[in-house]
Amino acid sequence: MLRKGFMLVTALLLCSIVLLLGMGFLGSRVGQYNSTMQASLAARARWVARAGLEDARAKLQRDIHFPPHPSQLQTTYSYSEDLHDLSTPPQYVGTYDVQLDSSHDLPNLRVLVITSRGQVRAPGQGPTAPPLACHSYRACIDVTPSSYDQVRYYPLLRFDDLGAL
């Protein structure tokens, strides 16, 4: 009888140790899953910010009146757009905020500074939810008019990764 009781206590103790080890392992996996999700959101925020830069560049190339000609008192122009994917129905991807600053002109060179901030939210959430990740880029381009270009091409003077601001 004593031998059976000893085996029962030993089996319960062994099961408890295995249970605690399993729970510890699963607890560490939660941190890994969260860090993987955060890295995925950060990558999406970088791509949304790049989409904002490309959107501003495309608008500059296609629309001669973009950005609206500022006065001497106003040298910046800002806009924000929501980005959706191409699925049916379209799913919300993120929002980019773009700012165009023409206050850095030099005597023989017109410089336009484009700053784009990309923001992403949790899957299934819309643009009103608080952002989970954001990233910013800044590009300086030469917008000096040239008489020989049929296609408006704006050379990149500088590109900065501003990080997660």
Segment 83-98, tens digit of pLDDT: 888 888 888 889 999 9
Specify the length of the chain in residues.
165
| Token duo for residue 143 | 């917008």
* Nearest CA among 41, 44, 56 for reference residue 115: 56
Backbone angles phi, psi at 56, to 5 degrees: -65, -40
Residue 154: the pLDDT is 81
| pTM greater than the 0.85 cutoff | no
pLDDT confidence band for 115 (50 / 70 / 90): very high
Domain boundaries of the chain, sorted by first residue? 2-163
Report pLDDT digits (tens) over 15-55. 899 888 888 877 777 777 888 888 889 999 999 999 999 99
Residue 111, strand partner residues: 142
